[in-house]
């Protein structure tokens, strides 16, 4: 029997949903190996009988909280897919401003119609079995996760920083180019995509395990950033972590 | 003819095969329409609020995340707004590369929509998944075209979703001539696939509902070029308006039942997107696009909103051929590495507008003297289409009741209508 897979989305840009469809070459093979029973963005067929749930997006409303609890109750294996789900992503930027003011800024007098909670990554609401990091979630990570699950294995998160992958690619260090980069403290797995395109890492995969943030702060300060600018950099994609407070 | 349903109630919770979360609610009592709502329930993320205080270098990076489907378009619009605020003039090569990525993103989105989200309705299946067994050649063609478009975006932007190389004033790196040549060869080879796409849709076009409603169409229009990357605002009702005065056109308003704001200009609503663009710019369509229009029987102005999908096929053909022209011009120029742009932030305001796949997109930033965003406003195509969807439903439901259609048929027609607009709901709520 093929494993039954469902996809769900919460507050997000849906770029991670698109990343799945962007596996153009592998998609037919994946469809042979698993049965997709719930994927609102791509299909009108819907079923609540599934074993594996891929969840995209952050939890931002009371209604989201109820929905994710139901999904957790059904799924044997729940994957938080992409930065919004795995760390809260840059949706977390909202949490650093007073919520009432945020609502009024966007909706004016209509603010009262649109309830909002502080943004949370999925694991702060229900237990999560695996996280696919990144904004967007990496295609390779998606396929590796599916492959591992089909083999009955739990996939493993990368436990080293982006710098390792960047060095392996022989990229010129962004610091040597006079820029600042969050590669030293950001979790790897993207193949150092941004530095490989001559753009600094801005931390979309979240902090690596045991990051040396104090040294990172010193390096950023040495390159001319004020404490406020460093905090801003950390808030962009590390908003879930205490380094952003 | 079945009995005329005097009291009709249609509630579609979470319309499928669209990007994001929305419901349809329609009610009639004694033949009168008492409720007609396109109910967007997506959770807002409040981008405009949290853009405040962020430095100019991050504006495109952050706003890209408004929408994963049209992330290149958000970046282009954001870059143009920042460049307008700081008085930056990008190089000719930068503009050509931007036009190329803009066309590639349009192709990707239109192929995804027509083949994956719309064709199941025309072929009577719930999704593209069963089509992998019944129509493997059609699915293979769709995947091949989608991959081509994504590979071009990747080649220029460094990634298909949320590209990384586009910065205010230029590019962090430009593609190698060999990669441009390879892309050119693949585009040439894809022309037959676009012709086949046009013929496939022509053969299914009989299933597209016949429904017309006169409305205002709004799109960018440029001199001598079918406008996607740049142009002036153009209304089918009264002509040109400068981009900087977009607020006179959009007039955004909040509806209690929709976290996506509505817009209206001369009438109760206006329509943006592929159909609006074709209606406004039909005289500028040429080559493969003009041929596809002929194959599909498109003669502007078309007033059937369901034909937005036909317009997408025509645009897909048009941009595929146009990308070859952009590449030829780039190859003739070099391409040369772009120098690191020298940006001097200054206090001021800048507005950018681009035609993204679903219609005209505006970004408007006010910067302080240190180059930090003080105020931000983003108006998304799907926002602008919300009121148009409702006006269509308001005209369509009485017509379908008059024709004696069943509740199920009316429900289906409304779902297909929403899908025809290709709404990008999470983007519209941002």
ipTM of this complex: 0.96
> Is residue A155 assigned to a domain?
no
In this structure, are A124 and A203 located in the same domain?
Answer: no
> Is residue B17 assigned to a domain?
no
β-sheet bridge partners, residue A9: A56
Chain A CB contacts of B146 under 8 Å are 21-22, 24
Give the residue from chain A lying closest to B109, CA to CA. A18
C-beta atoms of B68 and A194 within 8 A: no
Please tell me the distance from the alpha carbon of residue A112 to that of residue A100, in angstroms, as a whole number: 9
Predicted structure pTM score: 0.97
* B255 neighbors B261 (Cβ within 8 angstroms): yes
Q: What pLDDT was estimated at residue B3?
A: 52
In which domain, by residue range, is B319 found?
A: 47-429
> Is residue B20 assigned to a domain?
no
CA distance to A11, A12, A133, B39, B202, per residue, from A79 (Å):
16, 15, 10, 29, 41
Query: For residue range A99-141, what is the model confidence (pLDDT) as tens digits?
Result: 999 999 999 999 999 989 999 999 999 999 999 999 999 888 8
In this structure, are A23 and A51 located in the same domain?
Answer: yes
In this structure, are A129 and A28 located in the same domain?
Answer: yes
Of A142-151, A201-210, B65-74, the least confident:
A142-151
Q: What pLDDT was estimated at residue B1?
A: 47
In which domain, by residue range, is A201 found?
A: 162-244
Q: Write down which residue in A85, A120, A150 finishes a domain.
A: A150
> Is residue A157 assigned to a domain?
no
C-beta atoms of A15 and B65 within 8 A: yes
> Is residue B113 assigned to a domain?
yes
Length of chain B: 430
Instruction: Tell me the pLDDT of chain A averaged across its residues.
Output: 94
Question: Which is nearest to B246 in space by CA: B86, B376, B355, B364?
Answer: B364
A48-71 mean pLDDT = 96
Q: Which helix (H) or strand (E) holds B9?
A: strand B8-12
Q: What pLDDT was estimated at residue B91?
A: 97
Q: Is B355 on the interface with A (CB under 8 A)?
A: no
Chain B CB contacts of A105 under 8 Å are 46, 48-49, 52
Q: How many domains does chain B have?
A: 1
CA distance to A111, B68, B126, per residue, from B409 (Å):
36, 33, 16
Q: What pLDDT was estimated at residue B5?
A: 53
Residue B338 C-beta-side C-alpha neighbours within 13 Å: 25
Q: How many domains does chain A have?
A: 2
In this structure, are A70 and A144 located in the same domain?
Answer: yes
In this structure, are A167 and A55 located in the same domain?
Answer: no
pLDDT greater than 70 at residue A180: yes
C-beta atoms of A41 and B45 within 8 A: no
Q: What pLDDT was estimated at residue B52?
A: 98
A240-244 mean pLDDT = 95
Chain A CB contacts of B55 under 8 Å are 229, 232
The answer for B 67-96 residues in CB contact with A (under 8 A) is 67-69, 71
Q: How confident is the model at residue A31 (pLDDT cuts 50, 70, 90)?
A: confident
CA distance B24 to chain A (A): 15
CATH at residue A52: 3.40.50.700
Please give chain B's pLDDT, 430 residues, in tens: 455 556 899 999 989 888 888 999 999 998 789 999 999 999 999 999 999 999 999 999 999 999 999 999 999 999 999 999 999 999 999 999 999 999 999 999 999 999 999 999 999 999 988 998 999 999 999 999 999 999 999 999 999 999 999 999 999 999 999 999 999 999 999 999 999 999 999 999 899 999 999 999 999 999 999 999 999 999 999 999 999 999 999 999 999 999 999 999 999 999 999 999 999 999 999 999 999 999 999 999 999 999 999 999 999 999 999 999 999 999 999 899 999 999 999 999 999 999 999 999 999 999 999 999 999 999 999 999 999 999 999 999 999 999 999 999 999 999 999 999 999 998 999 9
Q: What pLDDT was estimated at residue B231?
A: 98
In this structure, are A119 and A237 located in the same domain?
Answer: no
């Amino acid at each position: 029997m093929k494993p039954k897979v469902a996809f769900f989305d919460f507050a997000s840009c849906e770029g991670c949903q698109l990343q799945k469809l962007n596996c153009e070459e592998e998609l037919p093979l994946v469809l042979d190996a698993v049965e997709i029973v719930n994927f609102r963005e791509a299909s009108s067929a819907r079923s609540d009988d599934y074993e594996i749930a891929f969840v995209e997006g952050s939890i931002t409303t009371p209604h989201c909280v109820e929905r994710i609890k139901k999904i957790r109750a059904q799924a044997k294996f729940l994957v938080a897919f992409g930065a919004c789900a795995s760390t809260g992503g840059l949706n977390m930027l909202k949490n650093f401003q007073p919520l009432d003011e945020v609502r009024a800024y966007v909706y004016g007098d209509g603010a009262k119609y649109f309830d909002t909670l502080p943004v949370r990554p999925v694991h702060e609401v229900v237990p999560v079995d695996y996280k696919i990091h990144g904004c967007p979630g990496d295609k390779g990570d998606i396929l590796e996760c599916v492959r591992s699950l089909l083999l009955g294995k739990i996939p493993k998160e990368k436990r080293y920083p982006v710098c390792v992958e960047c060095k392996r690619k022989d990229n010129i260090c962004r610091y040597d180019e006079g820029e600042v980069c969050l590669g030293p403290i950001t979790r790897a797995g993207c193949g150092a995509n941004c530095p490989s395109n001559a753009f600094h890492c801005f931390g979309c995969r979240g902090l690596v395990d045991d990051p040396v943030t104090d040294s990172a702060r010193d390096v950023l300060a040495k390159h001319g950033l004020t404490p406020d600018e460093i905090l801003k950099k950390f808030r962009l994609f590390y908003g879930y972590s205490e380094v952003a407070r | 003819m079945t009995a005329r349903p005097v009291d009709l109630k249609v509630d579609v919770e979470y319309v499928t095969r669209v990007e994001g979360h929305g419901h349809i609610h329609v009610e009639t009592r004694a033949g009168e329409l008492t409720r007609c709502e396109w109910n967007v329930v997506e959770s807002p993320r409040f981008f405009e609020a949290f853009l405040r205080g962020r430095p100019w270098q991050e504006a495109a990076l952050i706003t890209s995340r408004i929408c994963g489907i049209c992330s290149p378009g958000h970046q282009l619009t954001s870059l143009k707004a920042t460049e307008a605020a700081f008085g930056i003039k990008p190089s000719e090569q930068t503009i050509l590369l931007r036009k190329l990525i803009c066309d590639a993103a349009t192709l990707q989105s239109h192929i995804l929509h027509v083949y994956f989200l719309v064709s199941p309705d025309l072929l009577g299946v719930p999704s593209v998944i069963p089509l992998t067994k019944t129509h493997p050649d059609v699915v293979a063609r769709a995947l091949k075209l989608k991959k081509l478009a994504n590979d071009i975006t990747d080649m220029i932007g460094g990634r298909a979703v949320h590209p990384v190389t586009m910065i205010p004033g230029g590019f962090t790196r430009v593609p190698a001539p060999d990669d441009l040549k390879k892309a050119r060869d693949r585009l040439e080879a894809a022309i037959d696939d676009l012709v086949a796409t046009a013929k496939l849709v022509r053969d299914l076009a009989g299933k597209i509902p016949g429904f017309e409603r006169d409305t205002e169409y709004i799109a960018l229009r440029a001199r001598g070029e079918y406008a996607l990357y740049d142009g002036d605002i153009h209304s089918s009702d009264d002509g040109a308006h400068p981009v900087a005065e977009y607020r006179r056109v959009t007039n955004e308003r909040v509806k209690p039942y929709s976290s996506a704001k509505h817009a209206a200009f001369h009438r109760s609503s206006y329509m943006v997107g592929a159909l609006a663009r074709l209606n406004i710019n039909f005289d500028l369509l040429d080559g493969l696009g003009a041929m596809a229009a002929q194959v599909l029987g498109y003669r502007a102005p078309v007033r059937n909103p369901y034909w937005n999908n036909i317009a997408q096929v025509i645009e897909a053909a048009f941009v595929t051929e146009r990308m070859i022209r952009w590449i030829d011009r780039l190859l003739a120029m070099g391409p040369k590495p772009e120098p690191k742009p020298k940006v001097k932030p200054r206090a001021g305001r800048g507005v950018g507008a681009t035609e993204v796949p679903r219609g005209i997109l505006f970004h408007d930033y006010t910067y302080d003297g240190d180059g930090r965003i003080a105020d931000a406003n983003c108006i998304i195509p799907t926002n602008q289409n919300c009121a148009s969807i409702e006006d269509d439903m308001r005209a369509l439901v009485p017509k379908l009741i008059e024709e004696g259609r069943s509740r199920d048929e009316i429900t289906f027609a409304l779902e297909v209508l929403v899908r025809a607009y290709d709404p990008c709901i999470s983007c519209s709520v941002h």
